[in-house]
Amino acid sequence: MERLMLLDGNGLIYRGYFALPPLTTSKGELVNAVFGFCSIVLRGIQDIRPDYVAVSFDLPAPTFRHDRFAEYKATRQKMPDDLRDQFPKVREVVKALRIPVYEMPGFEADDVIGTLTVQAEAHGLDTTIVTGDLDMLQLVTERTRLMTTRSGVQNTVIYDPARIEERYSLRPSPVSGLPAGRPTPAFAVPAGAGPQPDGRPAATFAAGIGSPPSIVLRASTVSSARSPPSAGRRSMSDRNSYSRNSRMTASRS
């Protein structure tokens, strides 16, 4: 079976920047994010041994979320200048490695990656998403896995449906309910359930109720601290993921 590795460009750059100490070139230029990105990508190639690799980056223009919710990410802290300066260097690395870049105006890298996983499954590919963003766990299926780092950039973990159920007592379908129940200060998106920071109450809440619309509607009537019976055995037939239902085709640059 052929394998595809999809790289969340922005997520990996952020992970390298915040996980590693300041690393500079002989000219004094900070490159810890570049080094972290390269380390994770090379580790992914070593562990996954993909037949195909692609990367997606966020574009600077507003997305459809900003059109629908004016305060989207309004409270997120400004990107540090020494991090912003490393993005062009990462793109140079991507170009040197001849990794194709997929981007779409009005959409985030998450949306593009979600769409590509659907297209990959339709073509019979096994896909591994490499990211530092656990929100993408909602994209995991029997044919799509997620690889992320636990600490630093070398200690990695791969999530498949069994691993998600082991950690969150959830099957992948209701995982998309976790962002709906968890406060998201950086995104300025109101949370529904107000769980604890470790996410466990959100997990039990999602397992007991199901999809994000259900979570939002019932957040005021159901206690997030109550663990429902047989929470780990519940599943959902609908995916409830904007990216999985999207019919957008990402443009390649």
Q: What is the pLDDT of residue 50?
A: 96
The answer to whether 109 and 57 have CB atoms below 8 angstroms apart is: yes
Kindly state the tokens that stand for 144: 């799509």
CA–CA gap between residue 4 and residue 71 (Å, rounded): 35
Q: Cα–Cα distance between 190 and 212 in angstroms, integer? A: 13
Q: What's residue 183's pLDDT?
A: 47
Q: Which residues contact 25 (CB under 8 A, 6 or more apart)?
A: 31
The single-letter DSSP state of residue 220 is T
Local confidence pLDDT in tens for the 253 residues of the chain: 899 999 999 999 999 999 999 999 999 999 999 999 999 999 999 999 999 999 999 887 666 565 666 665 556 677 889 999 999 999 999 999 999 999 988 888 888 999 999 999 999 999 999 998 888 898 999 999 999 987 777 788 999 999 999 988 877 664 554 454 444 555 455 544 444 444 444 444 444 444 444 444 444 444 443 333 333 333 323 333 333 333 334 455 5
Q: Do 162 and 48 form a contact (C-beta atoms < 8 A)?
A: no
240: left (phi over 0), alpha (psi -120 to 50) or beta: left
Homologous superfamily of 3-165 in CATH? 5'-nuclease (3.40.50.1010)
H runs (alpha helix) in the chain: 9-19, 32-48, 64-68, 81-84, 87-96, 109-122, 161-168, 177-181, 200-209, 212-218, 242-245
Nearby residues of 26 by Cβ (< 8 Å), 6 or more positions away: none
User: How crowded is residue 88: how many other Cβ atoms within 10 Å of its Cβ?
Assistant: 9
State the pLDDT at residue 201: 47
Which residues of the chain are in CATH 3.40.50.1010 domains?
Answer: 3-165
pTM for the structure as a whole: 0.69
Contact 205, 215 (CB under 8 A): yes
10: burial class by Cβ within 10 Å (0-12, 13-18, 19+)?
Answer: buried
The b/e string for 136-166 (b: 16+ C-beta within 10 A; e otherwise) is bbbbbbebbbbbbbeeebeebeebbbebbbe
Q: State whether residue 21 is helix, strand or coil.
A: coil
Residue 66, pLDDT score: 52
